[in-house]
Amino acid sequence: MLKDIQNQKDWRNIDIDRVGIADIVYPVVVKDRSKGKQHTIATISMGVNLPHNFKGTHMSRFVELIHKHRENISIDSIGEILHEMRDSLNAEESQIRLSFKYFAERKAPVSGQISLMDYGCDFFACLSGSGKDLVITVNVPVLSLCPCSKEISDYGAHNQRSIVKISVRASKLVWIEELIEYAEKSASSPIYALLKREDEKFVTERSYENPTFVEDIVRNITELLNSDNRIEWFEVSSTNMESIHNHNAWAVITKDKRQGMK
């Protein structure tokens, strides 16, 4: 029988907060609001705490768990993975982060041409004596047109692509698509992968009639998240990649709805 080195006693009497695997790339299946399931590729990190009396943890068990659950990655299954990590590795705390691209079909506003948009998503979950914590993050590209530029210019106004980042803790299921919609409603216009000439005209004119500062975007999203009773905590930020300045504009709002603004 092969010797189990990891389970041998360590004499330095030092606890390790987290030990595990980082940045393993693996095919997974995530929940899709319109189609039920979606295949994608995730970059995954997993870890547990290690008491001072153990020399090491069993790294292979992390990969075994990901492979076991790869066909159904959801809020519910993440909780199950955390429990199995903790039990199989004799740990008190466990955590997992999955970063992946989520694809959604988008229809051009006039021509109706359909294409796929990709959105960067992140699930971070941990399990400890105080319970389970899950934060869902979605990054959404949008269009913002400067209200000041529109007001002072005789011709047109400068605009830029903005990256909206929404992170939430929720008491009930919140779909990725819903967070995407909150971001797109709050900017000058959504961004599309495919636009014909008539669509470009529509998007250009729509954004001109709906100018937004970076401050407007985060405040607009905050209003929507405030009215969603499922959301318990959120952080929303927008980074505007300026087209006429040598810097970006940035704003962030963090709120715990049980405790008020932070």
Whether residue 261 is predicted with pLDDT greater than 80 in this model: the reply is no
Residue 121 to residue 166: CA distance in whole angstroms = 10
Whether residue 166 is predicted with pLDDT greater than 90 in this model: the reply is yes
- Is this structure's pTM higher than 0.85? yes
pLDDT digits (tens, 9 = 90+) for 75-99: 778 888 999 989 888 889 999 999 9
pLDDT band, very low/low/confident/very high, at 8 (cuts 50, 70, 90) = low
pLDDT band, very low/low/confident/very high, at 10 (cuts 50, 70, 90) = low
Instruction: Give the whole-number percent of the chain exceeding pLDDT 70.
Output: 92
pLDDT band, very low/low/confident/very high, at 201 (cuts 50, 70, 90) = very high
pLDDT digits (tens, 9 = 90+) for 242-257: 888 889 899 999 999 9
What was the pLDDT predicted at 243? 85
Q: Which of the two residues, 25 and 75, has the higher pLDDT score?
A: 25
Whether residue 68 is predicted with pLDDT greater than 60 in this model: the reply is yes
Instruction: Give the whole-number percent of the chain exceeding pLDDT 90.
Output: 64
pLDDT digits (tens, 9 = 90+) for 28-64: 989 899 999 999 999 999 999 886 666 656 788 888 8
What was the pLDDT predicted at 147? 93
CATH no. for 16-261: 3.10.270.10
What was the pLDDT predicted at 106? 94
